[in-house]
Amino acid sequence: MAISVTCIAPVNIAIVKYCKHWSGGKRDDDLILPINDSISVTLSTDHLRTKTTITASPELTKNVLRLNGVEESFENPRIQRCLLEVQKKAKSSGKCPKPEMLEWKIRVESENNFPTAAGLASSAAGYACFVYTLATLYGIEDEELSGIARMGSGSACRSLHSGYVQWVMGEREDGADSLAVQVAPATAWPNMHVLILVVNDRKKATASTQGMSTSVKTSELLKHRAEKCVPQRIEQLKKAIAEHDFETFGRIAMTDSNQFHGVCLDTYPPCFYMNDVSRQIVRLVHEINNMAGFIKVAYSFDAGPNACLFLLEKDVVEVSAIVRRAFPFNHCQEADYYKGIPNDEAAMAAVPEKVLNTFSVEEPNQLRYIIHTKVGEGPRRVE
Amino acid sequence: MAISVTCIAPVNIAIVKYCKHWSGGKRDDDLILPINDSISVTLSTDHLRTKTTITASPELTKNVLRLNGVEESFENPRIQRCLLEVQKKAKSSGKCPKPEMLEWKIRVESENNFPTAAGLASSAAGYACFVYTLATLYGIEDEELSGIARMGSGSACRSLHSGYVQWVMGEREDGADSLAVQVAPATAWPNMHVLILVVNDRKKATASTQGMSTSVKTSELLKHRAEKCVPQRIEQLKKAIAEHDFETFGRIAMTDSNQFHGVCLDTYPPCFYMNDVSRQIVRLVHEINNMAGFIKVAYSFDAGPNACLFLLEKDVVEVSAIVRRAFPFNHCQEADYYKGIPNDEAAMAAVPEKVLNTFSVEEPNQLRYIIHTKVGEGPRRVE
C-alpha cells in the first residue's frame, strides 16, 4: 500500500542577500518574511543537491525523519508547518490521485551530497526538496510552492526555480505574496560558471538563523540597507542578467556580499561568518581583477566562510589555475580536492608561470576542496 | 648654539570612532576633517608612549627625521605641514624666546615603546608628540595645538589631552573649528582600567589611511552612520562618562567598534582590520558578560587586530585571570607577556578553577603580549 517518491533539489546562493524581518514587527515571525527582495543563482544539481525520499503508508504509526542517515525529531515546528501547508494545498486543489493518503503518516529520508550546516545553504536545499517531494507525492508539484518552502527556511523558496531567481518580499501581512519567481532560466546565460571554495573550518561560529534575527533586532545600518541600498541593486542586477553584463553582475555580487557581512557585524553581539581564509580569498579575487583591469571573477559569501566565485567560461582555466596555485593542499587526493566539472588540465598546465607567480601562495590546506559547477535547474523527480 | 627639547605623548583609543571626510567633498583632504565627532580615551604614558627629541641648530643644513632609529624622509607633506603651522603660530604669538631659531633647521628623533603600525595608534601618538615637542621648543606649548596635530594624522589631535577627549568635527571649510577638547580628566574616573591584547599578526592587511579614505568613497552605510547613529552615541557616551556609568560606556564601546568595522567591510574593495584572533577575543568578552549578567568588560578595535579591553578596577583580577587562561603562551618569558601595571598574582591565583574552566582555551601564542594600563595624561616635557 505504501507510496514512495524521490526528488532532488538544488542549493542557491544569493547575489543580493536576504535578511529576515524582525519577529517583533507586524509580520509574523513564523512566516519567515524578508525585509528586502533578494536575487539568487540556482546551482547545478549535478554537483550539489539534496535528495529526499518520502514514503506515505497507512501502516506507519508516526511521522519519521532521517537526515543524512540520522533520525531527527519530526516535532520541528517548521517541518510541521510545511507538511500541513502542502497537505492543505493538496486537499483544496483536488488533484491528489489518492486523497486518503493525505491522512497517512510519512517517512522522510533526506541526504545532501555536500557538508550540512557548512554555510552551503543546506537548509534551503533541504526544505525545498522536502516541500517539492511531498507535493509530487500528492500530485501538486505544479502548484505555487515557494511560499510554503519559505516557511521552512526563508531562502528555500528560491531553490524551487532554476537559473536566476528573485524572492519578492511582498506586502501582505499573511506573507501570501512573498514568493520566488524566475528572473531568467539557467540556459539564458550558459557561459556563467561557478567555483565553490569550501574552507577548512571547524564549525560555524553562529547559526545563521540566530545571526540574522539578531541583526534585525539591533543593527542600525540594516534598515538603511534594506530601504535605500537594496532596491536599486535589485533593478541593476536584473538588468545585468538580462544583458549578460558580467562586470555589473560581479560588482553587485561583491558589494552586496560585503555589505551583508558588514551589517552582520553591526549587531550586538556581532555576528561573524567570514574568517581569515575567506579574507585571503577576497584579497586574491581583487588582485586577479586589478591585474586584469576588469572584473574577471567575483565572490559571494553566505552564512559561512566558504566562497562562491562567479566567472565566465572563457576565464575558468586561468582563474582555476591561480586558485590552485594560491591554495595548495596535501591533506587529500587530487580527485577529492577538485570536484565537479572536470577542468581542461592541459590548458591549465599551459597558464604561464609569470601569471601564476604574481600571486602569493597561502599555507597548505586552507581549503577543504573546490567544486567547479554551473548555474542549474530546479527540483525534479528522480527514480 | 643648538637647542633641544624632549617630550612624550600618549596613544589614544576611540570609543566612538572617527571616519575621514572624503577628499572629493567640499572640505580639503589635506586638512584631515572627519565626517562625525569622535570620543577617545588617552592611555597612560607609563606604558605606551612616543618620545620625541627635537634639536634646532643654525648649523644644520637640512631637516632630519629619525623614527625608531631609522632615518626617514622629511619630504612627507604631513610632516611639512605640521612644521609650517607650528612655526606660523610661534611667529604670530610673539612668544618664541629666540625668534631666529624659527629659521633654523631641525633634527627630529622619535621612538615608540610599542610596535609601530600595529594598529596601536602609533601615528596619533607620533604626530601629537612631534607637534607638542616643536611647540615646546618654540615656547608655545600652551597654545591650541590640536588643529595642527590633526593635519598630521586625524586622531593625533585627541592625543594632546588627558583623560576622555572629544574631537569636535566642526563646520568651517578651513577646518579651524575641528579641534579636540577634554570631556573629563583621567582623574575623574580613576578606577577605569585597560587591558591591551596585542595579537600575533604578521602585518596589517590594509594601511588605515587607505582603508578609511576608501570607506568614505564607496560605503553607502557610512553616511547613515555619521548622520544618524553617531550624534546620539556621542551624547550618551558623554553622559556615561560624567555619571561613571560603565554599563553604557561598555555597550557604546562595543557597538561602535562593531559598526565601524562593519562599515569598513561595506567598501569596495572591502577593508578588514579584525582577524580570527580578534573574533576569539570578542567571543570571550561576550561570554564573560553573559556569565556576569552585566557588562564587566568591553572591547574596542582600532585599525588593526589588537583589542583594547575596558574594565573597572574591581574586575581586573578576575578578567585578567580568564584572559590568561583563554590565551596561553610559550613563545616568550612571562615578564615579556604580561606588561604594564603588575597584577595581584596572589589574588589571581585565587580565582576559582570553576570560573576559569567555563571558558574555552585557544591555541597557544595567539597573543604577542598583554599590557595592563589605565587612562592617563596628555603630552609633557621630559628630561
**Amino acid (1-letter code) at residue A259:** Q
Q: For A92-122, how does the pLDDT look when each residue is reduced to its tens digit (9 = 90+)? A: 999 999 999 999 999 999 999 876 655 677 8
Q: Which residues of A touch B229 (CB under 8 A)?
A: 220-221
Closest Cα in chain A to B263: A262
A376 vs B174, more confident: A376
Question: Which whole number is the average pLDDT over B180-201?
Answer: 95
Instruction: Please judge whether A221 and B259 are an interchain contact, meaning their C-beta atoms are less than 8 angstroms apart.
Output: yes
The pLDDT of residue B24: 47
**Cα(A126)–Cα(A114) distance, rounded to whole angstroms?**
12
CB pair distance less than 8 Å for A259 and B266: yes
pLDDT digits (tens, 9 = 90+) for A31-47: 889 999 999 999 999 99
**d(C-alpha A338, C-alpha B352), whole Å:** 50
**Per DSSP, which regions of A103-262 are E strands?**
105-112, 164-168, 179-184, 192-199
Predicted local distance difference test score (pLDDT) of residue A207: 44
**Rounded to 5, what percent of chain A is helix, strand, coil?**
40, 25, 35
Could you tell me which residues come within 8 angstroms of residue A323 by beta carbon, excluding any fewer than 6 positions away? A195, A197, A284, A309, A370
pLDDT at residue B30 in the model: 77
User: What count of Cα atoms within 13 Å lies in the side-chain half-sphere of residue A351?
Assistant: 19
* Alpha carbons B43 and B10: distance in angstroms, whole number: 6
Identify all chain A residues contacting B218, using CB atoms and an 8 Å cutoff.
255
Contact A262 B258 (CB under 8 A): no
Cis peptide before A269 (omega within 30 of 0): yes
Q: Are B213 and B308 spatial neighbours (Cβ–Cβ below 8 Å)?
A: no
pLDDT of residue B161: 98
CB nearest to B221's CB, from A221, A267, A276: A221
Contact A78/A127 with Cβ under 8 angstroms? yes
Interface predicted TM-score of the whole assembly (ipTM), two decimals = 0.90
Q: Indicate the fold that domain B192-374 takes in CATH.
A: Alpha-Beta Plaits (3.30.70)
CA proximity to A271, closest of B131, B205, B274 = B274
Put simply, whether A268 touches B (Cβ < 8 Å) is yes
Locate all alpha helices (DSSP H) within A5-159, ordered by sequence.
77-93, 122-137, 146-152
A220 and B225 within 8 Å at the Cβ level: the answer is yes
pTM above 0.90, yes or no: yes
From start to end of chain B, where are the E strands?
A: 3-10, 12-16, 38-42, 49-57, 64-67, 70-72, 105-112, 164-168, 179-184, 192-199, 297-301, 307-312, 338-340, 367-374, 380-382
Q: Does domain B3-189 have CATH number 3.30.230.10?
A: yes
Residues of chain B in contact with residue A261, where contact means CB-CB under 8 angstroms, are 262, 265
The pLDDT value given to residue A217: 60
Residues B110, B9: Cα–Cα separation, whole Å = 11
Question: A with B: how many residue pairs have Cβ under 8 Å apart?
Answer: 93
Whether B202 and chain A come into contact, CB under 8 Å, resolves to no
| B228 touches A at CB < 8 Å | yes
Q: Are A268 and B279 in contact (CB < 8 Å)?
A: no
Asked if B225 reaches chain A (Cβ–Cβ under 8 Å), the answer is yes
Distance CA B176, CA B148 (A): 9
> How far, in Å, are A22, A120, A206, A226, B171 from residue A29 at the CA level?
7, 23, 20, 18, 45
For B259, nearest residue in chain A (alpha carbons)? A266
**H or E, element range at A65:** strand A64-67
Tell me what the mean pLDDT of segment A236-245 comes to: 98
One-character DSSP codes across B244-299: T-HHHHHHHHHHHHHHHHHHHHSSSS------HHHHHHHHHHHHHHHHHTS--EEE
> Which candidate from B254, B265, B269 shows the least CB-CB separation from A268?
B254
Cell numbers found for residue B295: 557588562
Per-domain residue ranges of chain A: 3-189, 192-374
Q: Are the beta carbons of A268 and B283 separated by less than 8 Å? A: no
The string of pLDDT tens digits covering residues B289-299 is 999 999 999 99
Rg of chain B over all Cα atoms, to the nearest angstrom: 21
Query: For residue B358, how many C-alpha atoms fall within 13 Å in the half-sphere facing its CB?
Result: 20
Phi, psi of A45 (to 5 degrees): -75, -5
Where are any strands of DSSP class E within B278-366? 297-301, 307-312, 338-340
The yes-or-no verdict on residue B353 having pLDDT over 90 is: yes
- Residue A216 predicted with pLDDT over 60: no
Which residues from chain A sit within 8 angstroms of residue B255, using beta carbons? 218, 266, 268
List residues bridging with B197 in a β-sheet.
B307, B370
Chain B CB contacts of A251 under 8 Å are 268
A245 with A251: CB under 8 angstroms? no
Mean of the pLDDT values across residues B149-171? 96
Q: Given CB atoms, is B27 within the 8 Å cutoff of chain A?
A: no
Which pLDDT belongs to residue A220?
Answer: 84
Q: Which residue has the cell 575558468?
A: A316
**Chain A residues with beta carbon closer than 8 angstroms to that of B224:** 220-221, 224, 228
Q: What is the CA radius of gyration of chain A?
A: 21
Q: Is pLDDT of B58 > 60?
A: yes
In order of B231, B235, B250, B293, B374, the CA distances from B242 in angstroms are: 17, 11, 14, 23, 18
Q: Measure CA B291 to chain center.
A: 30
Q: Are A250 and A241 in contact (CB under 8 A)?
A: no
- Residue B253, chain A, CB below 8 Å: the answer is no
Closest residue in B to A268 (Cα) is B255
